[in-house]
Amino acid sequence: MSAPWWKGAVTYQIYPRSFADSNGDGIGDLPGITAKLEYVASLGVDAVWISPFFPSPMKDFGYDVADFCGIDPIFGTLADFDRLLLQAHRLGLKVIIDQVYSHTSDQHPWFIESRNSRDSPKSDWYVWADAKPDGSPPNNWQSVFIGSAWTWDARRGQYYLHNFLTEQPDLNLLNPEVHAALLEAGRFWLDRGVDGFRIDAVSHFVHDPLLRDNPVQTRPGPRSRPFDFQNHVYTVDRPETLQFLEKLRALLESYEARYSLGELGGPGVLGTEEGRYISELRLHSAYSFFFLRSSPPSPSLIRQAFDEWQSGHGDGWPTWVFSNHDAPRVATRWGGENSHKAYVEQMAALLLSMQGSVCLYQGEELGLPQAHVPFERLVDPEALANWPLTLGRDGARTPMPWLAAADNAGFGTGEPWLPIDPRHTQLAVDRQETDPSSLLQLTRHLLHLRRASAALWSGAQSFIDADERVLIIERQAGPERVLCIFALTGENTAITPPVGDWRPIAGNALIDAGRLQLPQHGYAWLRNG
């Protein structure tokens, strides 16, 4: 194809702590990933995205980076990473790694130097501000993880900004020296041969240099954290972010076929033509948070997702996700505690039907529900701070079940860092490998069909009017047309397909006397001719 490799690609997200433990310490690692890459390739995905494995105090499990150019010993060595990369490329898989440019760990040498003196060369590499006359923080900004976004540091006699944990001080991306240092770190991994970056927390890269108070949030919605009470116009999606992204894109373009996938999510410059994050000068794509935060899909909701994307990103190419390491697993989030297998299958087909690229989170191909993690085993700072009001992130991060009858479901020989839900053991890879009706086998089939179809891979998309019971997506590339039809109400439904000579290629629906019979949670992919 003439299109770039990532346009339409399906990327498999690996959370390394929980994928496969090769040395029995209870924590997944890089050699464990390497040993399982043949399984990943067998799914029919195009790339892997590996969440952070850099040296870190692990206050936020790797997203508090203490060295951008190293490997934390719990995950292995640089030689282990090189072997992983070589094996992935041998199997035809691209490798994307996380880059965390918004902040560092408070143990990073840059921050240690910055906090020690206002006169150090790195004094302005982080966001520092004086207290108000009464000693209170500089403004009303709130951390995503509860409480003020400012922490007092007695050594500097100033507050420092942290949009997330206190231990994750924000880098000052208004400083060109910080730009240069981050780009040099990116170059380190590009020179090793990685195929691209998933760029964390892009929306939080830049702060308002005038430190103005955020206004009150007037949009309706839940208010479970102080962060939710504010409209983050001065802390999220600042237009100054584009300057760094253009430099990053220039770096990527100096290598062959490299890719940038941004984590975006918030108000700001996205709706303005001159401020688009995704363009020939900036990010290649961004994955949408829409479905990670939405109610279960309906025809109108799917249309809304694309309408909002197009209004904010114009011709930019979307990447869709239903699950990731930061959100409760989709089987539970939408399907409930006892989600029906047919519903999980329908959601898998829906994700692979929509125009855009896709990120598939480890275990999603098995239909894993959100794991139950008892309070005494919780480790996620967000889960602990919000307990019991949210499901937290631990339940989406429990170890991958490989072997139903093995200790720790085949994850490793040592006690895992998070407990394995017994329901996951019943859905282990080895059980689904031998079951032709399993979600694993269905996922492989759907991925094969998607890869073989120009229409499903990167073709045009339109919606065909039906009613609120049924979603009909038409994908087209040249003469090939594919209809993706979903009964989203959980009821038996029958419709007359649009005029044409349609042949079923996937799904649990039947064509009878010219009518498409959709069972509960029914879906069908129909190809013309």
pLDDT at 404 over 90: yes
pLDDT at 273 over 50: no
Residues with Cβ within 8 Å of 503's Cβ and at least 6 positions away in sequence, in order, are 526, 527, 528, 529
pLDDT, residue 272, reads 42
Mean pLDDT, residues 214-221: 90
Weakest-pLDDT range from 76-90, 232-246, 425-439: 232-246
The model carries a pTM of 0.95
Asked if residue 261 lies in contact with residue 96, where contact means CB atoms within 8 angstroms, the answer is yes
Q: Which of 29, 153, 237, 263 is catalytic?
A: 263
pLDDT, residue 259, reads 97
Active site residue 273: no
Delineate the domains of the chain, giving CATH numbers in brackets.
Answer: 10-104+176-448 (3.20.20.80), 457-528 (2.60.40.1180)
C-alpha angle 224-227-229 in degrees, rounded to nearest 5:
75
Asked if residue 346 lies in contact with residue 486, where contact means CB atoms within 8 angstroms, the answer is yes
What is the distance between the alpha carbons of residues 323 and 287, in angstroms, rounded to a whole number? 11
Q: How high does pLDDT run on average in the chain? A: 93
Q: Mind listing the pLDDT tens digit for each residue in 294-310? A: 999 999 999 999 988 88
pLDDT, residue 387, reads 76
What is the distance between the alpha carbons of residues 223 and 433, in angstroms, rounded to a whole number? 43
Q: Mind listing the pLDDT tens digit for each residue in 348-402? A: 999 999 999 999 999 999 999 999 999 899 998 877 877 776 667 999 999 999 9
Tokens 């539970």 locate to 332
Mean pLDDT, residues 464-482: 92
What does the block give as tokens for 516?
């498409």
Task: For the sheet with 493-495, list strands across it.
Answer: 493-495, 515-518, 510-512
Active site residue 474: no
C-alpha dist (Å) from residue 54 to 61, 77, 100, 117, 448: 10, 10, 10, 27, 34
Asked if residue 252 lies in contact with residue 196, where contact means CB atoms within 8 angstroms, the answer is yes
C-alpha dist (Å) from residue 481 to 151, 275, 318, 358: 56, 34, 21, 20
pLDDT at 267 over 50: no
Mean pLDDT, residues 487-494: 90
C-alpha angle 331-334-339 in degrees, rounded to nearest 5:
50
Q: Which of 64, 98, 200, 345 is catalytic?
A: 200
pLDDT at 270 over 90: no
Residue 272 CA to its chain's centroid (Å): 24
Q: Name the CA radius of gyration of the chain, rounded.
A: 23
pLDDT, residue 288, reads 82
